Amino acid sequence: MATTWIKSLHVKKDRTKAKAISDIIDYVENPDKTDNGKLISSYGCDSRVADEQFLISKRQYDEITNRSQGWRDVLAYHIRQSFKPGEVDAETANKIGYELAMSFTKGKHAFIVATHIDKEHIHNHIIFNSTALTCDRKFKDFFRSGRAVRRISDLLCVEHGLSIIEKPKPSKGKNYGEWLGGKEPSEQEKLRRKIDEVLPSCSTYEEFLAALQASGYVMNQNKRKKHTTFSLPGRKPMRLDTLKGDHTEAAIRERIAGTRIISGGGITQSVPTNTTNTGGGNSRVSLLIDIQAKIQQGKGEGYENWARIFNLKEAAKTLLFLKENGIDSYEDLVKKSSSASGNFATLTKKIKEAETRMNEITELQKHIGIYGKTRDIYNQYIKSGRSEKFYEEHRADITLHMAAKKYFDDAGYGKNNKLPTIASLKQEYAKLLSEKKKLYSGYRAGKTNMQELLIAKGNADKILGIKPETQNRDASRAKNRSESHDK
């Protein structure tokens, strides 16, 4: 059912680079398995001499970079993609495999796709060169690359109307990290992921530092060198600036301020509006385009063709999103999107209420402070019989005192409602700040969840041809039936 895995091909003691590459390519291009070679496609190389071309590119890489990794060198990567028996023909399977390879490598690496039909289930073998087409760099495997391959494959299969495994389980004999196609992340990578995890709930850089410490990281500030380091207990300390990219101190401050946006996975978003990336860089669901409305605005035939492809991909993403979130009916989608909207509205209201009260406390504390500092001067002014001379000499203090007293009167503080103490106000403020932080921890996640559900519902409405007015009328009828039944 469109299952996938990815493995790296290394040099071994008993074989050379040439032998290792030719062995795997000879196996996947076996004519008995590929209908005499008819089910083989390639990119950036000739499938008939791909092993030689792969080898030449590695020699060029060594000459250009003067680097040699010896026995640790990864020669190529092997992806296998299997389909449910009887669900896809060989030609379509090969096409899907080609799209998967192109999307995952971003067209930067040569590859071959061999579709095998010797088993009950049709499956693809994709071999892509670890050395880039430019011969100046290599593909760097990343943690959970297997998951990335699977997601791209799932999207492609949904687009072609094929089934996928919704909750795949690791193979026996492999740990979960190995099955996902990655190695244990480095200490720097762990810190990057922890930053991405805590940052959405932080509204200031100070909150971010506190959240990072609360998650187990030890923070040390070197005032002489003017930098801060973080480390897990017993591990080597790391500076944020050494993390580079979206995880330096400057980048983190920009992300908190909202001037730097990244997508899930810590990849900086640079995808233009109304574009899609099957490669998983922009995996969020986007609203389908009303093609007819755009055409009426003067869009041409080229735009129409692009929009239809865009809508097809977004429809596939929508379906995958619904599957991943366990939504198997339109009614369930309506219910969950409505619930998410209601929860987000409640959360927003609570945050605003807390902020309003915190502002009130801040203002009240300010006037209480002014009132206390100017009270003696004001009492002397009263004892002087409200002397004009005394007033002119102490105009500023008397005016501030009278303004503070008016503020208390307007706020309802008097004989029966005494002013709170500064200490009690500080305690209340601290409690509200703590509650606000807790609310914010779910605010952005709740907002994202609501937006994705509403977009998915909007897409479902367009796909099913459901108009808002029809939906509102049906909901009203259902409500009336329910009220009649209660009576």
What angle (nearest 5°) sits at the alpha carbon of residue 473, between those of residues 469 and 476?
140
Domain count, the chain: 3
Identify whether residues 132 and 243 lie together within a single domain. no
- In angstroms, the CA 432 to CA 177 distance is 41
Residue 286 has a pLDDT of 63
According to DSSP, the residues that pair with 219 across neighbouring strands are 230
Identify whether residues 250 and 369 lie together within a single domain. no
- In angstroms, the CA 25 to CA 28 distance is 5
Q: Is residue 290 part of a domain?
A: no
Question: Whole domain around residue 227: which residue ranges?
Answer: 187-268
Residue 287 has a pLDDT of 65
Please give the C-alpha separations between residue 147 and each of 50, 169, 259, 302, in angstroms, as whole numbers: 27, 12, 30, 34
Average pLDDT, the chain: 79
Percent of the chain with pLDDT over 90: 21
Identify whether residues 80 and 193 lie together within a single domain. no
Residue 442 has a pLDDT of 82
Q: Is residue 99 part of a domain?
A: yes
What confidence tens digit (pLDDT) does each residue in 346-397 have? 988 998 898 899 989 988 988 898 989 999 999 999 999 999 999 999 988 8
What confidence tens digit (pLDDT) does each residue in 18-46 have? 888 988 999 999 999 999 899 999 998 88
Residue 389 has a pLDDT of 92
111-116, strands of its sheet edge to edge: 3-10, 74-82, 123-129, 111-116, 40-43
Q: Is residue 486 part of a domain?
A: no
Structure confidence at residue 264 as a pLDDT band (50, 70, 90): very low
What is the distance in angstroms between the CA of the first residue and the CA of the last residue of the chain?
A: 51
Identify whether residues 47 and 99 lie together within a single domain. yes
Q: E-strand spans in 11-52?
A: 40-43
DSSP state letter for 282:
B
Q: Would you say how long the chain is, in residues?
A: 487
Identify whether residues 30 and 83 lie together within a single domain. yes
Residue 109 has a pLDDT of 95
Q: Is residue 433 part of a domain?
A: yes
Given a cut of 80, whether residue 276 has pLDDT beyond it is no
What confidence tens digit (pLDDT) does each residue in 424-450 have? 998 998 999 888 888 887 887 888 888
Q: Is residue 294 part of a domain?
A: no
Domain CATH code at residue 45? 3.30.930.30
Q: Is residue 279 part of a domain?
A: no
Write out the two tokens for 135: 């011969």
Cβ within 8 Å of residue 87, ≥6 positions away: 162, 163
Q: Is residue 80 part of a domain?
A: yes
Identify whether residues 162 and 223 lie together within a single domain. no
Identify whether residues 53 and 142 lie together within a single domain. yes
Identify whether residues 206 and 241 lie together within a single domain. yes
Burial class (CB in 10 A: 0-12, 13-18, 19+), 472: exposed
Structure confidence at residue 223 as a pLDDT band (50, 70, 90): low
Residue 434 has a pLDDT of 87
Task: Look at residues 179, 196, 226 and tell me which one is the last residue of a structural domain.
Answer: 179
- In angstroms, the CA 413 to CA 405 distance is 9
Identify whether residues 154 and 15 lie together within a single domain. yes
Q: Is pLDDT larger for residue 134 or for residue 159?
A: 134
Residue 232 has a pLDDT of 82
Structural contact between residues 258 and 284, judged by C-beta atoms closer than 8 angstroms = no
Identify whether residues 201 and 136 lie together within a single domain. no
For 271, phi and psi rounded to 5 degrees?
Answer: -80, 125
**Mean local confidence (pLDDT), 406-413:** 88
Task: Look at residues 139, 154, 179 and tell me which one is the last residue of a structural domain.
Answer: 179
Given a cut of 90, whether residue 81 has pLDDT beyond it is yes
Write out the two tokens for 261: 């946006």
What angle (nearest 5°) sits at the alpha carbon of residue 49, between those of residues 109 and 25?
70
Given a cut of 70, whether residue 487 has pLDDT beyond it is no
Residue 302 has a pLDDT of 64
Q: Is residue 130 part of a domain?
A: yes
Given a cut of 60, whether residue 308 has pLDDT beyond it is yes
**Mean local confidence (pLDDT), 476-485:** 48
According to DSSP, the residues that pair with 128 across neighbouring strands are 77, 111
User: What angle separates helix 301-324 from helix 145-159, to the nearest 10 degrees?
Assistant: 120
Q: Which residue is it, tokens 């409405």?
A: 461
- In angstroms, the CA 325 to CA 341 distance is 16
DSSP state letter for 366:
H
> What DSSP string describes 118-151?
SSSS-EEEEEEESB-TTSS-B----TTHHHHHHH
- Residue 12, helix vs strand vs coil: strand
Given a cut of 90, whether residue 479 has pLDDT beyond it is no
**Mean local confidence (pLDDT), 48-58:** 85
Identify whether residues 444 and 387 lie together within a single domain. yes
Residue 275 has a pLDDT of 35
Identify whether residues 379 and 428 lie together within a single domain. yes
Task: Look at residues 179, 207, 228 and tell me which one is the last residue of a structural domain.
Answer: 179
3-state helix, strand, coil in the chain (%, to 5): 55, 10, 30
Q: Which residue is it, tokens 């209908």?
A: 35
Q: Is pLDDT larger for residue 137 or for residue 220?
A: 137
The pTM assigned to this predicted structure is: 0.47
What confidence tens digit (pLDDT) does each residue in 313-356 have? 778 888 888 888 888 888 888 899 899 899 988 988 998 898 89
Least confident stretch, 144-153, 211-220, 360-369, 380-389 = 211-220
